[in-house]
Amino acid sequence: MFVPRPHLCDVLKREQRRLQLLCAPAGYGKTALLREYLRDVAAPGRVVWLSLGGQAQTLESLGSMLTDALGWVATDPSPSQASQLLQLTASPCRSWLACDESLTGNKSSADLSLRLVFDDLPSQMPTDLNHWFDQLLSLDNPQLQVLVTCRQRPEWNLPKLMLRGDLLELDTSQLALRPDEFESLLNRLAPNACTASRETLWHQTAGWCAGVRLLPTALLGPYLERELLSRLSEEQCEVLFGLAHLSKASAVLCEQLWEEQQGARVFKSLLDAQAFLVPIDHQPGWFRLLPAVAQSLQQRLSGAPLNRLRLRACQLLSVLGQVDDAVEQALSADQPEVAANYMERLWLSWILSERHLDRFMDWRERIEPQLLQSSSRLIYLCAKALLFSGRLDEAEECLQRLGHFLPPPDPHRSQRLLANWQALYGTLQALRGHAEQARLHCHAALRYLTPQDWLSVLLCHCTLARIAMNTGELNEAQVLLEHSLELARRQGSREAEVLVNTDRVRLMLLQGQLGLAQSLLRMELAQLTGNRTQPYPLLGRLMFLQGELLLQQGHLEEARQVVQDGLLQVRDCCAPFVLNAYLLLSEMASRNDEVEQAHLLLHEAERRMHWGKIDRACYQRPIALQKARNLSQEFEADSDKPPVAHVSGVPDYQDGLTPREVSVLKLLAEGMSVREVGHRLFISVNTVKTHAKNINVKLGACRRTQAINSAKAMGILA
């Protein structure tokens, strides 16, 4: 099934270089792309296509094939024939004329351009043949172009061609299907595939066209046998079967795992052979086997040999600083005690990165509770992971177990342990909406936390800043977040810096600084996006915030696309912030009068929170408020119905007004304008409007007067 690649064809048309090289593993559509390009190209001239099939070639055999393809007849096939071919292609005026007595043919000289296509070039070629290609690519003939598809970069003088501007190279990252192309192909292959199965297939194949087609069938194994394994040596296959069970690999790791086979050399040869080893984002020197390929090859190694490999890999990965992968290998080898031991060595900030929170929660399900309760550090890690996952009751139970380790022999260490406990407990209370208790615990923790406890300090500052933003104390929030940002930067924690800047964006919005908020968010998105190939929840979190800003500006469709793209980044993530995506999408559906869709999205949000075992305190109020907003918009959209003071059902979802909202409402009830209220409270006009909107939602009102009357009836206003 052909997948059109117009954007790549445009690149080939635009970049007319002497050598156009398409280098990638089997199944990335290299041949199909060249056929599509040559079929659509408008330039005149002749195309000569040689299908080499990856088979070994000599200078004589290739010269003979090229002679036949050109339609010339050689009287004496020999190396001199290849040299004569070079002479004939060296000058445009002789390209189609057989001027040598050993070559005859009947060619027209009307069209002088020539495209030579060498499809599926063999991985290894003799020195004289490589030299011949270097000569061919150096010919002084502007109307000669060479197009090559291969699975391994040829040993030609490619740097020289690049410096001269004569090389265009497309590799695996460029030849992989884009998400829209993947969806187009899947719509033809499996139009009824659900979203979850589509996301899984995308993750496993990463745009590998053959994998998309073959993975759901029983044909992927035979395909890899023919297209990959048959071209590898026995030692290459042995290493590759081991790599299928490792989440990552490097030359150093392979050298230790396969000492007798000179593992580093074999690993490099697999990279050169395009054996589906893809680089890992932001980890130079580390690679992973494409999941679809790894899954297909895992059955080639099992039993005791596999367990020995896992345990050896576990030790080496730990030494190389890849502690999380060491934990994974220990669990796969059915050694939970070893896994728990390695978990203690994780940096406390590790949970902030990539998909580590999900990974940790998965380990927690696979390790016996008594092992996870064997040390204060493990309990602290578990409590933090549960807290960040929104599982508040379990986090509190975990924190209570820390009391079993108090007091340690060292009073100073006891004090630090208690302070770290209070930092987490204060955050827990804040998430439950108990602001005063949260303040007390965070301030108490900050008195005794040391520079080594920077993450707990950061947690306290951010918690206090969010409380300050909720109560309208924006100057205090700004100071706290500035301290947090400086701390994150001093520690070199990019993830912590991004999380702090997320709160700073929200603060800027409350301060009415929309331009600054947009600028900061764009900067973070640009730095975080890069060329990532794996889902990244932190990026998804930023995309949800971007969607919120776009929605506030009325760009509904753009906001919808950004939020949906963000959901692809969080995938199966179980953190509470995922709720924001569904609330935003429900708001957009409501504004478009898609009442049923708005309701279904909130139902899906609640389902996902239940699935993640997230505490009701993290999602019940936001979902209730969104339901109230949706209902309010339904009534406002119905012009036949008069405005009502209270929407049916809203009282069940009412939430108490914050002190700042009560202050705003009192001044509005006195007849002040929005600008006068802002001047009196030293806040911006936009902040007053935001408070007024929240007041209306909480009181189920459509207008200011209705909100005031409702507040009087409820006793909020005298």
CA distance 244 to 310: 11
The tens digit of pLDDT for each residue in 180-198 reads 899 889 989 988 888 778 8
Lowest mean pLDDT among 161-175, 303-317, 544-558, 678-692: 678-692
Between residues 658 and 544, the one the model is more confident about: 544
**C-alpha span between 278 and 280 (Å, rounded):** 7
CA distance 554 to 588: 10
pTM of this prediction?
A: 0.71
Return the DSSP state at 230: G
**pLDDT for res 100:** 39
Do residues 276 and 204 lie in contact, with contact meaning Cβ atoms separated by under 8 Å? no
**CATH of the domain spanning 302-405:** 1.25.40
Higher pLDDT, 355 or 327: 327
Q: Identify the helix (H) or strand (E) that includes residue 103.
A: strand 103-104
DSSP bridge pairs for 116: 48, 146
User: Would the pLDDT of 85 be above 90?
Assistant: no
The position carrying tokens 């052979």 is 273
* Chain mean position to CA 625: 31
- Hunting for tokens 């024939």 — which residue is that? 81
Residues forming beta bridges with residue 148, ordered by sequence position: 21, 118
Residue 162: burial class (beta carbons within 10 Å; 0-12, 13-18, 19+) = middle
Could you tell me the pLDDT band of residue 43, with boundaries at 50, 70 and 90? low
Where does the pLDDT of residue 112 fall: very low under 50, low under 70, confident under 90, or very high at 90 and above? low
CATH of 6-175, picked from 1.25.10.10, 3.40.50.300, 3.30.470.20, 3.40.50.1820, is 3.40.50.300
Q: Topology of 650-713 in CATH?
A: Arc Repressor Mutant, subunit A (1.10.10)
What are the tens digits of pLDDT across the range 223-260?
Answer: 999 999 999 999 999 999 999 999 999 999 999 999 98
Outline where DSSP puts E strands in 277-369.
277-279, 287-289
DSSP state of 100: S
Name the token pair of 87: 């002479």
Cα 576 from chain centre = 18
Quick: pLDDT tens for 391-432: 999 999 988 887 776 566 677 778 888 899 999 999 999 999
* Domain ranges (residues) in the chain: 6-175, 178-217, 227-301, 302-405, 650-713
Residue 79 has pLDDT above 70, yes or no: no
**Residue 186 CB partners (closer than 8 Å, separation 6+):** 193, 198, 201, 212
By percentage, how much of the chain surpasses pLDDT 70?
A: 89
**Length of the chain in terms of residues written:** 718
Contacts within 8 Å (CB) and 24+ apart, 243-246:
243/270, 243/277, 243/289, 243/294, 244/289, 244/293, 244/294, 244/295, 244/297, 244/298, 244/300, 244/301, 245/294, 245/298, 245/301, 245/306, 245/309, 245/310, 245/332, 246/288, 246/289, 246/313, 246/325, 246/329
The predicted pLDDT at position 636 comes to 67
Same topology, domains 302-405 and 650-713? Answer is no
Q: Which of 355, 374, 367 is nearest to 331 (CA)?
A: 367
What is the pLDDT at residue 634?
76
Give the span between the Cα atoms of 386 and 360, in whole angstroms.
10
Q: Is residue 580's pLDDT more than 50?
A: yes
**How far is the C-alpha of 540 from the C-alpha of 552, rounded, in Å?**
19
Q: What is the pLDDT of residue 71?
A: 75
Q: Mean pLDDT score of the chain, rounded to an integer? A: 86
What does DSSP assign to residue 334? T
Q: What's the confidence (pLDDT) of residue 672?
A: 85
> Does the structure show a pLDDT above 50 at 643?
no
Greater pLDDT, 119 or 655: 119
